[in-house]
C-alpha cells in the first residue's frame, strides 16, 4: 500500500543526510524496533502489523528474524509513543477497520542514525539445529541422520522457490527499477546465493554420510566390481 502524502512541512529527510545526535528517547531502542522502522521505510509504505509481518517474512527472515505480529504491535506502540511512527485507521470491509502505520520525519532520522552508527563488537551466531543433529549422528541410526538432512534440504529448496517467486513479483511490480531498493535487492541476491550454496553443501553432506556405511557399500551391486591388476615387477 502506498503511503499517504505527508503534511506540509513534514518532508522526510533523506537517509543519506546527517541526522544529528540521537536523543535519549531512541538511544535504547532494540534492534527489532529498527527492523520495524526499516520495513516501513524501505518501500515508503503505510502498513498494518500483519503486513509488516509479511514483509519481514520475505525481506529479513533469512538473515535476521521475523518477529511475531504480537511483538510487532509492541514495538509499534513504543515507536508511536516516541513519535517515530504515526497511525491512522482505515476501513477493510463493511464493518471492520484496521490501524496502519508509517514513519515520521523523526522516525526516518532515528533510523538513519542507527544505520550510520558503528555496530557493537558482537559475534554473528548461526544456529542450525539440523547440523547439530548430524554432528551428533553417532547417537542415532544412519537413516535417521539422513532424514534430518532431507528435511533441511526440503526447507532450503522451498526457500529458493519463495525467493525466486519474490524476485519475479518485484519485477512484475516494477520494484526492480527503484533505485531506493538497490540495497535490499543486493542483500536478497546474497541470501539467494547462500541458499544455493547450502543446497549443494547439504547434498554433499548427505553423500558423505551415505559413504560412511561401509557394509552397505560392500553389498551394493548397482555397478560391476572388476579386479585390480597391479603391475608386475621385471
Task: Kindly state whether residues 102 and 55 are assigned to the same domain.
Answer: yes
Dist. CA 156–CA 194, nearest whole Å: 10
For residue 14, what pLDDT is reported?
38
The domain tally of the chain equals 2
Give 188-196's long-range contacts (Cβ < 8 A, gap of 24+).
188/59, 188/163, 191/62, 191/63, 191/163, 192/160, 192/163, 192/164, 192/167, 194/62, 195/62, 195/156, 195/159, 195/160, 195/163, 196/160
For residue 9, what pLDDT is reported?
34
What are the pLDDT digits (tens) for 71-124? Answer: 999 999 999 999 999 999 998 888 889 999 999 999 999 999 999 887 777 777
Task: Kindly state whether residues 72 and 135 are assigned to the same domain.
Answer: no
Q: How far is CA 51 from CA 47, 186, 213, in A?
A: 6, 22, 49
For residue 218, what pLDDT is reported?
78
For residue 69, what pLDDT is reported?
95
Task: Kindly state whether residues 85 and 135 are assigned to the same domain.
Answer: no
In a domain, 5, yes or no: no
In a domain, 175, yes or no: yes
Supply the mean pLDDT for the chain.
85
Task: Kindly state whether residues 139 and 198 are assigned to the same domain.
Answer: yes
Q: pLDDT tens digits, the chain, 234 residues: what are they?
A: 444 444 333 333 333 444 556 565 566 799 899 999 999 998 888 999 999 999 898 888 888 888 899 999 999 999 999 999 999 999 888 888 999 999 999 999 999 999 988 777 777 778 899 999 999 999 999 999 999 999 999 999 999 999 999 889 888 988 888 888 899 899 999 999 999 999 999 999 999 999 987 777 778 888 888 888 888 886
Dist. CA 193–CA 223, nearest whole Å: 35
The domain in which residue 30 lies consists of 26-116
For residue 191, what pLDDT is reported?
93
Task: Kindly state whether residues 55 and 98 are assigned to the same domain.
Answer: yes
Amino acid at each position: 500500500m502506498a503511503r499517504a502524502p505527508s503534511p506540509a512541512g513534514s518532508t522526510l529527510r533523506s537517509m543519506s543526510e546527517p541526522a544529528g545526535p540521537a536523543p535519549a528517547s531512541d538511544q535504547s531502542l532494540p534492534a527489532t524496533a529498527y527492523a520495524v522502522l526499516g520495513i516501513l521505510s524501505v518501500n515508503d509504505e503505510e502498513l498494518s502489523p500483519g503486513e509488516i509481518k509479511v514483509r519481514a517474512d520475505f525481506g529479513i527472515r533469512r538473515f535476521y528474524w521475523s518477529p511475531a505480529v504480537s511483538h510487532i504491535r509492541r514495538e509499534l506502540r513504543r515507536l508511536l509513543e516516541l513519535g517515530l511512527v504515526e497511525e491512522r485507521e482505515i476501513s477493510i470491509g463493511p464493518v471492520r477497520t484496521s490501524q496502519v502505520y508509517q514513519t515520521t520525519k523523526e522516525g526516518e532520522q532515528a533510523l538513519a542514525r542507527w544505520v550510520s552508527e558503528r555496530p557493537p563488537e558482537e559475534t554473528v551466531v548461526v544456529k542450525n539445529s539440523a547440523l547439530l543433529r548430524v554432528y551428533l549422528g553417532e547417537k542415532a541410526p544412519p537413516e535417521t541422520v539422513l532424514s534430518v538432512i532431507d528435511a533441511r534440504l526440503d526447507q532450503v529448496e522451498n526457500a529458493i522457490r519463495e525467493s525466486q517467486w519474490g524476485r519475479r513479483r518485484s519485477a512484475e511490480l516494477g520494484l526492480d527499477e527503484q533505485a531506493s531498493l538497490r540495497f535490499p535487492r543486493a542483500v536478497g541476491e546474497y541470501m539467494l546465493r547462500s541458499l544455493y550454496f547450502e543446497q549443494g553443501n547439504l547434498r554433499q553432506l548427505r553423500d558423505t554420510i551415505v559413504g560412511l556405511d561401509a557394509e552397505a557399500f560392500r553389498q551394493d551391486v548397482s555397478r560391476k566390481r572388476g579386479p585390480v591388476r597391479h603391475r608386475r615387477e621385471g
